[in-house]
Structure 1
Amino acid sequence: MRRPIVRTLARAAALGAAAAALPLASPAPVAADSVVVGGKLVRVADSPWVVALSSRDRFGGTRSGQFCGGVVVGRSTVLTAAHCMSKEVLGVPLRRVSDLKVIAGREDLATNAGNEISVSNVKTNPEYDASTNSGDFATLTLAEPLPESYVIRAAGAGDAAYKPGTSAAVYGWGDTTGRGNYAQSLHAADVTVLADKECQEAYPGSADGTYTPASMVCAGEIQGGRDACQGDSGGPLVARGKLIGLVSWGDGCGRAGSPGVYTRISEVVRVMKRYA
């Protein structure tokens, strides 16, 4: 069964502006150890680029209305999964969501820490294919800019951070057990970047989706255990201190032989440049 990662589960100008705000990174060491299924609590101060997407109108006041994750790639630009902006997830068309916000600097969703910033514009990737899950990203423009220190660098095509066997971490406030136990505080799980062949064998094409190496990254543990889960969609996959993926889809949470699939950030950069 296809895993919905969320709890239930005028384009050119905005994409171009976002592309300009998305810096490619040269190789750099991992900034800090990653301390989600199989994850551990982490401090948002050590990963300020992780943000929560919120709509209390659609998801209630519990956990600040969080329903998806996101990542800061420019002072006024956040990336998330395209499917997080769908009617399937929101329950209504996006245009009817009047209180969409990005919550930055808040690790515990039961507190008022950090900032809640209104989203002034949303642009879904025009190349997104919901049937295969290819190109699963959207750009959110913030009504107010965040500090430069919140911005994470993106790994471009050919970066060593995408190499199979590389240690990575996925961040979010989603289900921590695969049984509907949603996190109140930010978690991260250590995962491993896997070879494209392993994900192509796991997802050759079905109702789950189709693994496409050009636009997706495969990460997790073949034996299962550590993984993203419901509520983590759109959150960041980070390796060598750089953004390499966005939580997108998979079969179950932490199942053996069913690793997590992420939107490849180098493909996000390509699409943004194309529509600049």
Structure 2
Amino acid sequence: MRRSLRSLLAVSAVPLAVALALVLVAPAPATADRGVVGGQPVRTVEAPWVVALSSREVFGAARSGQFCGGAVVGPTTVLTAAHCMSRAVLGRSWWEVPDLRVIVGRNDLRGTAGVEYPAARVWVNPAYEGDERAGDLAVITLSRPLPPAYVVPMARQGDPAYRPGTRAAVYGWGDTEGDGSYASTLHMATVRVLDDATCETAYPGSTEGDYQADSMVCAGLPKGGHDACQGDSGGPLVAGGRLVGLVSWGSGCAVAGRPGVYTRISAVAPLVPAHG
């Protein structure tokens, strides 16, 4: 897939039992706007609501089996991209992945810090259309609750964080160079929320994708250079201390004129309480 769905699609599978870490390090309060391609290392203690999705059986033991990202929006509720739960990514239905885990508080995926939570329940938006990429949302319910400090609030309709030009940050453990150089530690890239006209011009409905303002938001920089990439899918875009988007798709990574496209949280937030 392209860089059209920003996921790690092909990694060797090496079965390995998952050992839960014993203690979560207490996080600092969520500070979203501080300051992935063109990014910089950031500690999970600074962004405790950023989580990694993992399956060692499907993706191998390296980097804890990470394949997508997610964001904690409630004590037991994690949001990610619907396409992260697809056969295109997992090679099977998500319920056929016995070791699907949400990794919380692990900055370096080569280590064992933090806790790996089994998914008690997964809900994939039935309205998600893979070709059009609208409604790219899945909700994972954790097996036990996290402390309140791990939760990032969701942006709602009319939130000023969606204003064009707003500084935002995207987080993930994905490709940092656009060439398959996957990160072992969490990275953050600073971008700007873009106006819908710019996004519609970039993605007018060609083979590269169709930008739909009612369910998507895009972010980047005019000259490119900062962006999410493969392996960052489902990860958070945060502005003004609120979750405004989830990494969904785009053309290339950090390419000028091809900003990253995110699931618009204000559009899908009403779906979350009933299924999270």
Question: What TM-score, normalized to structure 2?
Answer: 0.89
Query: 2: CA distance between counterparts of 1:258 and 1:237?
Result: 17
8 Å CA contact 1:218, 1:259 repeated in 2? yes
Structure 1 residues 170-211: Cα deviation after superposition (integer angstroms, max 9, x where no partner): 000000000000000000000000000001011111233210
1:8 aligned residue: 9
1:156 aligned residue: 156
Structure 1 residues 68-119: Cα deviation after superposition (integer angstroms, max 9, x where no partner): 0000011111000000000000011212100000000011001100000000
- Give the secondary structure class of the aligned counterpart of 1:154: coil
8 Å CA contact 2:32, 2:240 repeated in 1? no
8 Å CA contact 2:32, 2:169 repeated in 1? no
Is 1:172 matched with 2:176? Answer: no
In the TM superposition, 1:12-31 aligns within 5 A as 31=31
Is 1:206 matched with 2:225? Answer: no
In the TM superposition, 1:181-220 aligns within 5 A as 181-220=181-220
Give the counterpart letter for 1:128 in structure 2: Y
Query: 1: CA distance between counterparts of 2:8 and 2:82?
Result: 15
Query: 2: CA distance between counterparts of 1:182 and 1:251?
Result: 18
Query: 2: CA distance between counterparts of 1:198 and 1:150?
Result: 33
Closer, same or farther in 2 for the Cα pair 1:33/1:243, shift >3 Å? closer
Closer, same or farther in 2 for the Cα pair 1:105/1:211, shift >3 Å? same
8 Å CA contact 2:123, 2:275 repeated in 1? no
1:89 aligned residue: 89
1:45 aligned residue: 45
- Give the secondary structure class of the aligned counterpart of 1:182: coil
Question: What TM-score, normalized to structure 1?
Answer: 0.89
Gaps (5+ residues) in structure 2?
Answer: 11-29
- Offset, 1:243: 0.4
Gaps (5+ residues) in structure 1?
Answer: 10-29
- Give the secondary structure class of the aligned counterpart of 1:83: helix
Query: 2: CA distance between counterparts of 1:273 and 1:104?
Result: 21
8 Å CA contact 2:32, 2:238 repeated in 1? no
In the TM superposition, 1:1-276 aligns within 5 A as 3-8=4-9, 31=31, 33-272=33-272
- Offset, 1:223: 1.3
Give the counterpart letter for 2:6 in structure 1: I
- Give the secondary structure class of the aligned counterpart of 1:57: helix
Give the counterpart letter for 2:192 in structure 1: T
Identity of aligned residues (%): 58
- Offset, 1:258: 0.2
- Offset, 1:55: 0.3
- Offset, 1:35: 4.2
Give the counterpart letter for 1:55 in structure 2: S
Query: 1: CA distance between counterparts of 2:92 and 2:103?
Result: 21
8 Å CA contact 1:123, 1:138 repeated in 2? yes
Query: 2: CA distance between counterparts of 1:45 and 1:177?
Result: 24
Aligned length: 256
Give the counterpart letter for 2:9 in structure 1: T
Query: 2: CA distance between counterparts of 1:227 and 1:233?
Result: 12
- Offset, 1:43: 1.1
8 Å CA contact 2:33, 2:240 repeated in 1? no
- Offset, 1:3: 2.2
- Give the secondary structure class of the aligned counterpart of 1:88: helix
Query: 2: CA distance between counterparts of 1:92 and 1:275?
Result: 22
Q: Which stretch shifts more, 123-132 or 237-246?
A: 123-132
Closer, same or farther in 2 for the Cα pair 1:85/1:275, shift >3 Å? closer
Q: Which runs of 4+ in 1 moved over 2 A?
A: 1-4, 30-35, 206-209, 270-276
